[in-house]
């Protein structure tokens, strides 16, 4: 009964406070499933405000699973350009192809079948089951974790691991509005139970929260900070064209064009007299020394890019930033 009361409170709050997000604006069950698949893949390690314009453009250009399964890699990557973790886009297309081939074009309703699709793990499969199919799953993302940590006042390291938090999800109970309920819990985490300065007075479940009663909202975390890595990028210019190579250095940017680079130590970075830039990636902070040289010989297997045509290429954000630092485009 207690969990039913909690679900009613959460859903009442959600019905009156939910955000208008484009992936919630679907007109059919088929569209709902596709929108959920695309948005959940995009939201992996990317904030909502960043995803919104990319999602809208993606749906406009690639409106359904059938078209996604047949889209050219060039068009797909252009739609994804700037969103990062490009392997997500490739996996999304592979998933669409598998759905067309093995599931008659329909997103599978079985969680184990969902997990068998490229790029879909425990969290994303649970989110799809709940949001797309209204099944009683509560995906454990950072927002839901934060709520549980505060509700139960989890401050010990052995209390904040995934297995322990999954057991604590029983607190939320279930609702026959599973789709809305999963989104409602995550919405409270995003809008109310923020990492810092939570809006506790507006929280529908504050009376059930030990942290609120103790007036202590600090959260224990096993968060790992990004590693700082140092690189030297070689900007070779040949007759006003720039030499780039296919990436084989970073797994998350597979086959995209980058400047030739090598990893260096901190001392060499700091002592360099060349231009330096900082680039914050999702998985590391890059500090890059730019070494610009005129070069007559063409690097083997390189690509020559004219500065006037740069915008026609799909490039990682740090490659673009290097370009911006050495030329105007």
Structure tokens at 27: 């007109």
Length of the chain: 329
Residue pair 116/132 in contact by the 8 Å Cβ criterion: no
Say whether 113 sits in a helix, a strand or coil: helix
CA angle 288, 290, 294 (to 5 degrees): 155
CA distance linking residue 94 with residue 7, whole number of Å:
37
Say whether 286 sits in a helix, a strand or coil: strand
Which residues touch 137 (CB under 8 Å, ≥6 apart)?
Answer: 111, 126, 127, 129, 130, 178, 182
Structure tokens at 172: 């939320």
Closest CA to 179 of 217, 215, 128, 222: 128
Closest CA to 322 of 239, 262, 235: 235
Say which of 40, 81, 145, 187 is annotated catalytic: 40
263 catalytic residue (yes or no): no
Q: At which residue do the structure tokens 């109970």 appear?
A: 173
Cα distances from 297 to residues 233, 243, 255, in angstroms, run 17, 10, 23
Q: What are the catalytic residues?
A: 40
């Amino acid at each position: 009964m207690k969990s039913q009361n909690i679900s009613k409170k959460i859903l009442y709050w959600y019905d009156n406070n939910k955000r208008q997000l484009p992936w919630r604006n679907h007109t059919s069950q088929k569209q709902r499933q596709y929108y959920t698949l695309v948005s959940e893949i995009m939201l992996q390690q990317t904030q909502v405000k960043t995803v919104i314009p990319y999602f809208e453009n993606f749906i406009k250009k690639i409106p359904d699973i059938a078209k996604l399964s047949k889209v050219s890699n060039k068009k797909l990557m252009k739609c994804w350009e700037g969103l990062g973790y490009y392997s997500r886009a490739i996996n999304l297309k592979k998933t669409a192809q598998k759905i067309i081939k093995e599931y008659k074009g329909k997103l599978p309703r079985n969680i184990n079948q969902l997990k068998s699709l490229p790029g879909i793990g425990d969290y994303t499969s649970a989110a799809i089951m709940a949001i797309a199919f209204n099944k009683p799953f509560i995906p454990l993302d950072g927002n839901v974790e934060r709520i549980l940590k505060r509700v139960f006042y989890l401050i010990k390291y052995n209390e904040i691991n995934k297995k322990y938090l999954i057991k604590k999800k029983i607190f939320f109970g279930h609702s026959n509005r599973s789709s809305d309920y999963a989104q409602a819990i995550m919405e409270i985490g995003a809008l109310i139970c923020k990492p810092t300065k939570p809006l506790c007075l507006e929280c529908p479940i504050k009376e059930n929260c030990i942290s609120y009663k103790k007036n202590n909202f600090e959260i224990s975390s096993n968060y790992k900070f990004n590693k700082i890595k140092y690189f030297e990028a070689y900007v070779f210019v040949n007759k006003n064209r720039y030499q780039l190579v296919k990436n084989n250095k970073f797994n998350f940017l597979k086959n995209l064009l980058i400047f030739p680079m090598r990893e260096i130590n901190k001392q060499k970075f700091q002592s360099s007299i060349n231009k330096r830039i900082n680039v914050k990636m999702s998985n590391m902070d890059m500090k890059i020394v730019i070494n610009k040289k005129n070069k007559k010989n063409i690097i083997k297997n390189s690509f020559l890019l004219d500065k006037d045509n740069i915008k026609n290429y799909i490039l990682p954000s740090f490659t673009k930033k290097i370009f911006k630092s050495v030329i105007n485009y």
